[in-house]
Amino acid sequence: MPIVSTFCKKGGVGKTTFIGYLAHYYANQGKTVLVISADDQNSIFKIFGCENFVTANDDDFFENLLIGEKKPEEVVFEVRPGMYLMKTLNTDRLSINLTLKRSEEKKLRALIEDFTNYFDYIFIDFPPSSSRLTEILLDISEKILLVVGLDPLGIDGYKNTIQYFVDCDIEISKISHIIPIGYHPIKITPNKALKDLKILAENYSPDAIIATPIKDKAVIQNLQSEGISVFDNHTMKDKFHQKNLNEISKDLTEVYKSIVL
C-alpha cells in the first residue's frame, strides 16, 4: 500500500491543505486512509475542524506510540469516515532521539510498515523545516508530491528542496508529481513562475509529472477557518462563494484524478 508524502522546503505553499483534501478524496471513495502529521503544529486537524483532538489529551501523540506507552488505536483519530489522523508532539526532540539512538529508527520504520496492513493509503504531512525525522520519512515514502508556490520565492523553494534531496541522498526519482499552486490565467507572475518551473523540472526532476496548476482561492481559507472540507458537500451562504467552492472542488477533483498513486 503506497506511502505518499507532500514536501517543500518553503512554508505556506499548501502542503497540508493539499494532502488533507487528497486523503479526504480517497476516503470518500471508500478507502481507509491515514495521515501522519510530521508537522508538530498539527494544522491538518484544524482543516477538518477537529483541533480539539490536539489539545484534549497530553499522552496520545505519535511519540507515545513510538516509545510503547500507547497502542496504535489510542493515538489515531477518525476525522471523517475512513479517514484517520495521527498527531506529533515535538518533532525536534524526536529527531534528536532518532539521531542518537539508531534502534529508534528501526522501530519507526517497522511501525509505519505495519500500518500498511491496515490502511489503503498512508499520507505524511511534512513541516517546511527538515530534520532526521524528515529524512527517514521521506526515505520510507514511495511517492513524493512536491508542492510549489507559483511565485519567485516558491521557485526558490523548489531549488532548495532539490538541493536538500541531493545533500541528504534522497532519491529524486521518488518525486512523482510537482503540484504548482497559486495559478492565475491573467496575472504575469504565476505564468512566468510556471514557465520557470517547467524548465527547472526538466533539468532537475525529469521523472516528475507537473500536475495541472491549482488556482488560488480565498474561499478555501474561509472553509478552513470553519473546519469544513472541500469534499464535505457543504452549502455556502451566498451564490458567489458557492460558485467559488464548486469551482475549487471541481479543479481539485480533476487534479486528484490525474495523480495516480
Partner 1 sequence: MNNFPKKRTNPFEKPISAAKEEKVEVVVKEEPEIEEEVEEIVEQEEEIEEYVEPTPVVKKPAPKQPTKPAPKQARSGSRNSNVYVESDNRLKYTATMDRELRRRIKIVCATREIMFSQFIEQACIEKLNREGDR
> Can you tell me the distance from the alpha carbon of 134 to that of 122, in angstroms, rounded to the nearest whole number?
15
Give the residue with the Cβ less far from partner 1, 35 or 201. Answer: 35
Give the residue with the Cβ less far from partner 1, 78 or 207. Answer: 78
Give the residue with the Cβ less far from partner 1, 52 or 203. Answer: 52
Give the residue with the Cβ less far from partner 1, 65 or 170. Answer: 65
Nearest partner of 208 among 159, 173, 180, judged by Cα: 173
Please report how close the Cβ of residue 51 comes to partner 1 at its closest, in angstroms: 8
Dihedral sign (CA 104, 105, 106, 108): positive
Q: Which amino acid is at 151?
A: D
Please report how close the Cβ of residue 1 comes to partner 1 at its closest, in angstroms: 7
Please report how close the Cβ of residue 49 comes to partner 1 at its closest, in angstroms: 4
**Which stretches of the chain bind partner 1, using CB under 8 A?**
1, 32, 34, 48-50, 52, 71-73, 76-81, 84, 117-120, 186, 226-228, 232, 238, 240
Give the residue with the Cβ less far from partner 1, 71 or 198. Answer: 71
Q: Which amino acid is at 58?
A: D
Please report how close the Cβ of residue 114 comes to partner 1 at its closest, in angstroms: 9
**Cβ 177 vs Cβ 211: under 8 Å:** yes
Long-range contacts of 252-259 (CB under 8 A, 24+ apart): 252/21, 252/25, 252/214, 253/25, 254/212, 255/179, 255/211, 255/212, 255/214, 256/21, 256/22, 256/25, 258/211, 258/212, 259/22, 259/145, 259/176, 259/177, 259/211
Please report how close the Cβ of residue 73 comes to partner 1 at its closest, in angstroms: 5
